[in-house]
Amino acid sequence: MNPRIGTRAALSDPLAVNELPESLEGDAQVIDLPAKGAAMGVVDRRRASWAAGMPRVSVVIPTLNEERNLCHVLPRVPAWVDEVLIVDGRSTDRTVEEAKRLLPSVRIIEEPRRGKGRALFAGMRAATGDIVVALDADGSMDPGDIPRYVYSLMAGADFVKGSRFIHGARTDDMGPLRRLGNRALTETVRRVYGGRYSDLCYGYFALWSDVLPYLDGDAPGFEVETHVSVRALGAGLQVVEVPTFEAERIHGVSNLNTFRDGARVLRQIFRERNAFAQSTLPVPRPLRSPLQPAVLRGAMVPEVPTPARPTMSAVVCTHTLDRWDALVRAIDSLQDQSFGLEAIIVVVDHNQDLLARCRAELEGVTVVPNGQQRGLAGARNTAIELASTDVIAFLDDDAWAADDWAGHLAAVYEDPTVVAVGGTVEPAWTTERPEWFPREFDWVVGCTYRGLPTVRSRVRNLIGANMSFRRQALDGVGSFDELLGRVGANGAGCEETELCIRLTQHDPEARIIFEPQARVRHEVPAQRTTFEYFKQRCRAEGSSKAIVSRLVGSDDALSSERTYLTRTLPVGAVRGLGRLLWLDTSGAKRSGAIVVGTSCVARSYLLGSLRRAPGGRARS
């Protein structure tokens, strides 16, 4: 990417809280990037809600044992901020209680997984404001700078980042070694991505909530600051740096480790190089005009009509009473969706006791028995026959959806060429994740794996625990092939892969989209964390892929696997061995698991390919 660098009038000083400016004056560093090709769409800023004169503003603050510092942060958040979200990462002190005492209106979000990045993204996804500001809880960032960030966004920026090294900025919390490392990493980003960042590793930033799909992703720790900064450049967003002051942490000890986290930042820089290579997100138009003072002061903003979103049913297939609690949790998550579902359908797979209990205890759902061949494919086909909505979404009975899951799926269907949409499936380990378990093989436990796109992109097939289909498309090609469906707890599968391939073979213009923001959590019980189960699932996958190859042809059946085999797995194996440099033997174990898993899949595929092709396919 060859960015065009320029400057433009923007805010450099905090403005009066209760007064909107006649003009926006001052100097700030602006990085204008051209769109990648012709503009396919424009991120819309001028919402009708601005008629009140100000967009809604949310402030997200991740916390971990910050009880003593919150008194220096929360009272200084400007009163006009619409909501403050505390995302707590399992604090052992009274952080949550202190936050509620200082600010009774605060929203508390519990994030069970460790890491600043996970907490930040959880908060930003939950925020309801048009603008989201990220702020640390340790007292090092001045909440009084929030107006500077907000008004820079209102002046036309997509993403505003604080800098400690431009005119008017300063830091009291960075020694010579960290300063040198930050400069080296910043220069690396300049050379790899272009742009003119002056400060890479700083987490005070703000963004329009509608650009979050461009920035969201997998950055669990302190590398999240680099992640969002690099993604903003890669997406072609309009980026502004504003000066800010960083103080020392007031109480406690920072969790930042110079060498460890520096290495993670460097790795993140290069991981993001191809994030947008196949993205289907609309390309932002460069040089958007800033909002005029009349708009800021409350002039009426014309409403832009949005395409009607489709109606949607959600389907949960279940087969055993052993998962009753998980099934109830899945249903509760569907009933809590912010996007209105027309129906929730529970299909019970040939289990009369479970069917009776579902009908007796589950309220607000339609419960039906599997009227077709025993197995997951037959249960799903039963639901397809029953559902009458435009879109049919599927959720596993041991998974649960984020409250905006259905909304993110439905939004993608505004494009009439889209026939299927799926999303992220995050593993929820009931025990600790085995140190030998490679993320490249998370598909073994039915979850999103390393190697899938990290922004909205076109894919060959979806993951069964989190997928949806346009009803009209299914009417044209039929439903799931029951030769492939899982029966009970066996390891068979790939029926969703075969269906997705059949959809695109029927209509080459049809698009299957992976939307990472449509998130579900998938429970991974202890019995699925053994190495024997890992090998069993790999063998089952190879056998299933052999059947798919016979049904749809090996070229389409193995198109994604070729890239996975030649790129994702070798990089994963080398990455694991590289951990030995840090005296971490778990990396070598993951590399070994990659070799074993690949061998199991390949052997089963070859054996399956030699077998006689099965009989005809079941179609509804």
- Average pLDDT on 558-564 reads 84
Q: Are the beta carbons of 551 and 503 closer than 8 angstroms?
A: no
Predicted local confidence at residue 38, as pLDDT: 32
DSSP assignment string, 431-465: SPPPTT--GGGGGGGTS--BTB-SSSEE-S---TT
Q: Are residues 270 and 358 in the same domain?
A: no
Last residue of a domain, one of 534, 565, 583: 534
Is residue 65 domain-resident? yes
Last residue of a domain, one of 268, 284, 300: 284
Q: Are residues 340 and 259 in the same domain?
A: no
Chain mean position to CA 167: 35
Predicted local confidence at residue 255, as pLDDT: 67
Last residue of a domain, one of 519, 534, 549: 534
How is residue 67 annotated by DSSP? Answer: T
Residue 437 dihedral angles phi and psi, to the nearest 5°? -80, 110
Predicted local confidence at residue 335, as pLDDT: 97
- Average pLDDT on 565-578 reads 90
Query: Which runs of E-coded beta strand occur in 29-129?
Result: 29-31, 57-63, 83-88, 107-110
Instruction: Give the mean pLDDT of the chain.
Output: 83
Is pLDDT at 29 greater than 70 in this prediction? no
Higher pLDDT, 494 or 377: 377
- Average pLDDT on 52-68 reads 87
Q: Confidence class of residue 563 from pLDDT cuts 50, 70 and 90? A: confident
Is residue 608 domain-resident? no
Strand partners, 428: 523
Q: Are the beta carbons of 395 and 336 closer than 8 angstroms?
A: no
Is residue 544 domain-resident? no
Is residue 614 domain-resident? no
pLDDT in tens, 215-267: 988 888 888 989 999 999 888 888 999 999 888 888 877 666 667 777 888 88
Predicted local confidence at residue 219, as pLDDT: 84
Q: Work out the number of other CB atoms within 10 angstroms of the CB of residue 4.
A: 11
Pairing of strands 29-31, 6-7: antiparallel
Predicted local confidence at residue 300, as pLDDT: 44
Is residue 101 domain-resident? yes
Q: How far apart are CA 475 and CA 472, in angstroms?
A: 5
- Average pLDDT on 341-365 reads 96
Q: Confidence class of residue 556 from pLDDT cuts 50, 70 and 90? A: confident
Q: Are residues 346 and 450 in the same domain?
A: yes
Compute the C-alpha angle 426/334/349, nearest 5°: 85
Q: Are residues 504 and 397 in the same domain?
A: yes
Q: 127 vs 60, 80, 120, 122, 529, CA distance in Å?
A: 8, 16, 11, 9, 34
Compute the C-alpha angle 80/82/88, nearest 5°: 120
Higher pLDDT, 341 or 6: 341
Q: Are the beta carbons of 548 and 497 closer than 8 angstroms?
A: yes
Predicted local confidence at residue 26, as pLDDT: 37
Is residue 433 domain-resident? yes
Q: Are residues 184 and 72 in the same domain?
A: yes
Chain mean position to CA 36: 22
Q: Are residues 330 and 242 in the same domain?
A: no
Q: Are residues 360 and 229 in the same domain?
A: no
pLDDT in tens, 258-311: 677 778 888 888 888 888 887 888 766 544 444 444 444 444 444 555 567 799
Q: Are residues 221 and 360 in the same domain?
A: no
Q: Are residues 12 and 74 in the same domain?
A: yes
Is residue 306 domain-resident? no
Predicted local confidence at residue 581, as pLDDT: 80
Q: How far apart are CA 436 and CA 576, in angstroms?
A: 10
pLDDT in tens, 312-338: 999 999 999 999 999 999 999 999 999
Is pLDDT at 435 greater than 90 in this prediction? yes
Q: Are residues 119 and 16 in the same domain?
A: yes
pLDDT in tens, 113-135: 888 889 999 999 999 999 999 99
Is pLDDT at 526 greater than 80 in this prediction? yes
Tokens matching residue 551: 């049904």
Element (H, E) at 347: strand 343-348
Tokens matching residue 598: 């690949």
Q: Lowest-confidence range among 50-64, 402-416, 472-486?
A: 50-64
Domain count, the chain: 2
Predicted local confidence at residue 488, as pLDDT: 55
Domain that holds residue 241: 6-36+54-284
Q: Are residues 218 and 321 in the same domain?
A: no
Is residue 609 domain-resident? no
Q: Are the beta carbons of 494 and 484 closer than 8 angstroms?
A: yes
CATH code of the domain in which 113 resides? 3.90.550.10
Q: Confidence class of residue 502 from pLDDT cuts 50, 70 and 90? A: very high
Whole-number percent of the chain with pLDDT over 70 = 84
Predicted local confidence at residue 34, as pLDDT: 33
Predicted local confidence at residue 612, as pLDDT: 56
Tokens matching residue 510: 């049809």
- Average pLDDT on 347-373 reads 95
Q: Are residues 66 and 180 in the same domain?
A: yes
